[in-house]
């Protein structure tokens, strides 16, 4: 492992380890600061491998029951395959911190995560000229859950930055699909636990919904995935109760009109994933998205909401086949 001299305004040194250069930094926004991280195969001088191929950067957006580490397995896998990967924490999640002035406001203005995504993408490209040149300033955007919704809004609002979309177990702004009565009852249970500040049971019930699947028996989920999801949900619930993270940070989707009415504007290659055991409204939303984005391809995984965690090998292979199209 080696430490490199920081570039520009980076707050962390660049780290080289096992042929991968990792850069971590914060980007200032009106509401606070956003943590981002890039992991890139090291470009050696005089190397001719893939010299003529422009490869878009992979931009991963996490779920609202996780943080940027949701994508650890995918980043390790695809950097090893020669792809540059960028990810960040949504404001109020992981290492992204709202400012004191924003938190002190009695009425907080909604955060536009798709605008933050564009800011992070531009900050990354500005920090690394070689990557901008080798990627042609383009991204394949991969989002899960609320990350998929943000990815759609980003693709519509910043089409010049997007060359492909991967939408997993998410929703779409402006599409209102009802859950079943049993699913709604589980969500009310979470709300009740949160009102009582019972963080452990709120987290456990969220794992039941987003891990096992609301129609499945508790315990279906692999123990390792369950533990990871529980820890995320517990951390997020703690921040929500403290009103400095999670749903305590209001958000605003793309509107006038919303994304659900603008999917035909998306002209880049798109693949869509849904989980067999996921909540019904998410499954229906992914069906809708696949039907309304031109030439989008839909795949169902034997999983709940957290598809990439439950089926990492199958997910990576599926994503890899899609990415191969950008190499020709």
Q: How far apart are CA 291 and CA 297, in angstroms?
A: 9
Q: What is the pLDDT of residues 24-55, one digit of tens each?
A: 999 999 999 999 999 999 865 545 455 556 89
- Residue whose tokens read 């963080």: 199
> What is the share, in percent, of the chain residues with pLDDT greater than 70?
90
Q: Which tens digits make up the pLDDT trace of 178-220?
A: 999 999 999 999 999 999 999 999 999 999 999 999 999 999 9
Q: Flag the least confident range among 126-135, 137-146, 293-302.
A: 126-135
Instruction: Encode 150-217 in three state secondary structure.
Output: HHHHHHHHCHHHEEEEEEECCCCCCCCCCCCHHHHHHHHHHHHHHHCCCHHHHHHHHHHHHHHCCCCC
| Helix 181-195 / helix 223-241 crossing angle, nearest 10 deg | 50
**Could you tell me which of 143, 156, 117 has the C-alpha nearest to residue 266?**
156
- Average pLDDT of the chain is 92
Contacts of 245 (CB under 8 A, 6+ apart): 92, 93, 98, 236, 239
Residues 190, 201: Cα–Cα separation, whole Å: 8
First to last CA, the chain: 33
Q: Domain 2-178+252-327 falls in which CATH fold?
A: Rossmann fold (3.40.50)
- pLDDT given at position 218: 92
DSSP summary character for residue 78: H
Domain boundaries, the chain: 2-178+252-327, 183-241
Max CA pair span of the chain = 62
| 3-class DSSP assignment, residue 227 | helix
CA distance linking residue 135 with residue 144, whole number of Å: 23
What's the pTM? 0.93
- Of residues 99 and 15, the one with the higher pLDDT is 99
């Amino acid at each position: 492992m080696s430490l490199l001299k920081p570039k520009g305004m980076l707050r962390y040194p660049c780290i080289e380890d096992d042929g991968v250069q990792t850069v971590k930094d914060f980007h200032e926004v009106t509401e606070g600061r956003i943590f981002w991280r890039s992991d890139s195969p090291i470009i050696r001088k005089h190397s001719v491998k893939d010299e003529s191929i422009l490869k878009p950067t992979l931009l991963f957006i996490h779920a609202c029951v996780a943080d940027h580490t949701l994508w650890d397995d995918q980043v390790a896998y695809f950097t090893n395959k020669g792809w540059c990967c960028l990810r960040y924490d949504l404001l109020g999640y992981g290492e992204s911190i709202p400012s004191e002035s924003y938190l002190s406001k009695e009425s907080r203005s909604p955060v536009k995560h798709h605008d933050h995504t564009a800011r992070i993408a531009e900050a990354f490209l500005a920090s690394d000229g070689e990557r901008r040149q080798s990627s042609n300033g383009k991204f394949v955007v991969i989002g899960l859950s609320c990350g998929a919704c943000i990815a759609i809004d980003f693709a519509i609002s910043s089409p010049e930055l997007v060359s492909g979309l991967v939408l997993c177990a998410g929703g779409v702004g402006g599409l209102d699909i009802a859950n079943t009565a049993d699913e709604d009852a589980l969500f009310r249970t979470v709300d009740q636990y949160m009102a009582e500040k019972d963080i452990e049971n709120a987290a456990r019930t969220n794992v039941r919904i987003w891990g096992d699947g609301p129609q499945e028996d508790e315990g279906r989920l692999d123990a390792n995935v369950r533990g990871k999801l529980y820890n995320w949900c517990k951390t997020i619930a703690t921040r929500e109760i403290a009103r400095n993270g999670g749903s305590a940070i209001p958000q605003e989707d793309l509107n006038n009109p919303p994304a659900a009415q603008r999917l035909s504007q998306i002209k880049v290659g798109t693949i869509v994933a849904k989980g067999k055991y996921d909540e019904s409204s998410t499954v229906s939303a992914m069906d809708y998205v696949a039907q309304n984005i031109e030439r989008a391809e839909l795949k169902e995984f034997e999983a709940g909401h957290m598809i990439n965690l439950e089926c990492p090998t199958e997910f990576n292979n599926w994503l890899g086949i899609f990415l191969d199209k950008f190499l020709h």
